[in-house]
Protein backbone atom coordinates (compact mmCIF):
# COMPACT_ATOMS: atom_id res chain seq x y z
CA UNK A 1 0.00 0.00 0.00
CA UNK A 2 1.44 3.39 -0.96
CA UNK A 3 1.68 6.46 1.26
CA UNK A 4 -1.22 8.25 -0.43
CA UNK A 5 -3.63 5.40 0.26
CA UNK A 6 -2.43 5.19 3.85
CA UNK A 7 -2.96 8.93 4.30
CA UNK A 8 -6.52 8.59 2.99
CA UNK A 9 -7.17 5.73 5.46
CA UNK A 10 -5.73 7.80 8.31
CA UNK A 11 -7.88 10.76 7.30
CA UNK A 12 -11.05 8.68 7.13
CA UNK A 13 -10.48 6.90 10.43
CA UNK A 14 -9.48 10.12 12.23
CA UNK A 15 -12.64 11.81 10.95
CA UNK A 16 -14.75 8.89 12.14
CA UNK A 17 -13.15 8.93 15.56
CA UNK A 18 -13.58 12.71 15.83
CA UNK A 19 -17.27 12.60 14.98
CA UNK A 20 -17.75 9.65 17.31
CA UNK A 21 -16.12 11.24 20.35
CA UNK A 22 -18.11 14.45 19.97
CA UNK A 23 -21.41 12.55 19.59
CA UNK A 24 -20.53 10.25 22.48
CA UNK A 25 -19.74 13.01 24.95
CA UNK A 26 -22.58 15.28 23.75
CA UNK A 27 -25.00 12.41 24.33
CA UNK A 28 -23.57 11.90 27.80
CA UNK A 29 -23.84 15.60 28.59
CA UNK A 30 -27.49 15.63 27.50
CA UNK A 31 -28.35 12.41 29.34
CA UNK A 32 -31.27 14.13 31.06
CA UNK A 33 -32.93 14.60 27.68
CA UNK A 34 -34.19 11.03 27.58
CA UNK A 35 -33.51 7.84 25.68
CA UNK A 36 -32.46 9.61 22.48
CA UNK A 37 -29.42 11.04 24.27
CA UNK A 38 -28.38 7.54 25.38
CA UNK A 39 -28.82 6.28 21.81
CA UNK A 40 -26.64 9.09 20.44
CA UNK A 41 -24.08 8.43 23.17
CA UNK A 42 -23.94 4.70 22.44
CA UNK A 43 -23.66 5.11 18.69
CA UNK A 44 -21.02 7.82 19.14
CA UNK A 45 -18.97 5.63 21.46
CA UNK A 46 -19.13 2.77 18.95
CA UNK A 47 -18.07 5.01 16.05
CA UNK A 48 -15.23 6.42 18.16
CA UNK A 49 -13.94 2.97 19.09
CA UNK A 50 -14.08 1.72 15.50
CA UNK A 51 -12.41 4.91 14.22
CA UNK A 52 -9.66 4.71 16.85
CA UNK A 53 -8.96 1.05 16.02
CA UNK A 54 -8.83 1.81 12.29
CA UNK A 55 -6.58 4.82 12.93
CA UNK A 56 -4.14 2.77 15.00
CA UNK A 57 -4.19 -0.01 12.38
CA UNK A 58 -3.43 2.40 9.52
CA UNK A 59 -0.56 4.01 11.44
CA UNK A 60 0.91 0.64 12.43
CA UNK A 61 0.55 -0.71 8.89
CA UNK A 62 2.37 2.33 7.51
CA UNK A 63 5.20 1.89 9.97
CA UNK A 64 5.47 -1.86 9.32
CA UNK A 65 5.51 -1.51 5.54
CA UNK A 66 7.87 1.49 5.75
CA UNK A 67 5.59 3.30 3.31
CA UNK A 68 4.62 6.04 5.76
CA UNK A 69 5.87 6.86 9.23
CA UNK A 70 3.68 9.60 10.64
CA UNK A 71 5.98 10.06 13.63
CA UNK A 72 9.21 10.87 11.81
CA UNK A 73 8.12 12.26 8.44
CA UNK A 74 8.36 16.10 8.57
CA UNK A 75 5.10 16.77 6.69
CA UNK A 76 3.10 14.41 8.91
CA UNK A 77 4.70 15.82 12.03
CA UNK A 78 3.69 19.34 10.92
CA UNK A 79 0.11 18.13 10.37
CA UNK A 80 0.04 16.58 13.85
CA UNK A 81 1.34 19.80 15.43
CA UNK A 82 -1.30 21.84 13.57
CA UNK A 83 -3.93 19.40 14.82
CA UNK A 84 -2.67 19.85 18.37
CA UNK A 85 -2.79 23.63 18.04
CA UNK A 86 -6.32 23.36 16.65
CA UNK A 87 -7.40 21.23 19.59
CA UNK A 88 -5.94 23.67 22.11
CA UNK A 89 -7.65 26.55 20.33
CA UNK A 90 -10.99 24.72 20.25
CA UNK A 91 -10.82 23.96 23.98
CA UNK A 92 -9.91 27.56 24.78
CA UNK A 93 -12.73 28.98 22.66
CA UNK A 94 -15.29 26.49 23.98
CA UNK A 95 -14.14 27.03 27.56
CA UNK A 96 -14.21 30.81 27.14
CA UNK A 97 -17.71 30.71 25.70
CA UNK A 98 -18.80 28.42 28.52
CA UNK A 99 -17.42 30.78 31.17
CA UNK A 100 -18.82 33.85 29.41
CA UNK A 101 -22.23 32.22 28.98
CA UNK A 102 -22.44 31.04 32.58
CA UNK A 103 -21.32 34.34 34.11
CA UNK A 104 -23.83 36.34 32.06
CA UNK A 105 -26.58 33.82 32.75
CA UNK A 106 -27.18 33.14 29.06
CA UNK A 107 -25.91 29.55 29.00
CA UNK A 108 -25.41 26.88 31.63
CA UNK A 109 -21.75 25.98 32.19
CA UNK A 110 -20.48 23.23 29.90
CA UNK A 111 -19.30 20.04 31.58
CA UNK A 112 -15.54 19.55 31.56
CA UNK A 113 -15.79 16.24 29.67
CA UNK A 114 -17.68 17.97 26.86
CA UNK A 115 -14.86 20.52 26.55
CA UNK A 116 -12.34 17.66 26.35
CA UNK A 117 -14.47 15.98 23.70
CA UNK A 118 -14.51 19.17 21.65
CA UNK A 119 -10.71 19.33 21.88
CA UNK A 120 -10.30 15.67 20.98
CA UNK A 121 -12.70 15.99 18.08
CA UNK A 122 -10.94 19.11 16.82
CA UNK A 123 -7.58 17.33 16.98
CA UNK A 124 -8.91 14.39 15.00
CA UNK A 125 -10.71 16.56 12.43
CA UNK A 126 -7.65 18.74 11.79
CA UNK A 127 -5.50 15.60 11.59
CA UNK A 128 -7.94 14.11 9.05
CA UNK A 129 -7.99 17.30 6.99
CA UNK A 130 -4.21 17.61 6.99
CA UNK A 131 -3.57 13.99 6.06
CA UNK A 132 -6.13 14.13 3.25
CA UNK A 133 -4.44 17.29 1.98
CA UNK A 134 -1.08 15.52 1.97
CA UNK A 135 -2.64 12.57 0.14
CA UNK A 136 -3.89 14.84 -2.65
CA UNK A 137 -0.43 16.25 -3.07
Distance between CA atoms of residues 129 and 10, nearest Å:
10
For all residues of the chain together, what is the average pLDDT?
83
DSSP string, 25-77: HHHHHTGGG-HHHHHHHHHHHHHHHHHHHHHHHHHHHHHHHTS--TTT-HHHH
Per-residue pLDDT at 109? 65
The mean pLDDT of 24-29, rounded to a whole number, is 84
- Which of 24-28, 56-60, 94-98, 112-116 shows the highest mean pLDDT? 56-60
- Which of 47-51, 87-91, 93-97 shows the highest mean pLDDT? 47-51
Residue 110 pLDDT > 80, yes or no?
A: no
Q: Are 107 and 101 in contact (CB under 8 A)?
A: yes
| CA 66 from centre of chain | 25
Amino acid sequence: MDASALRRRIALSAGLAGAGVIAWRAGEAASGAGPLAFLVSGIGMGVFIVGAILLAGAILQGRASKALDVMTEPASRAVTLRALYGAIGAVLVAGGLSVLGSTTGVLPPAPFDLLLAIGTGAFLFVLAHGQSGLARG
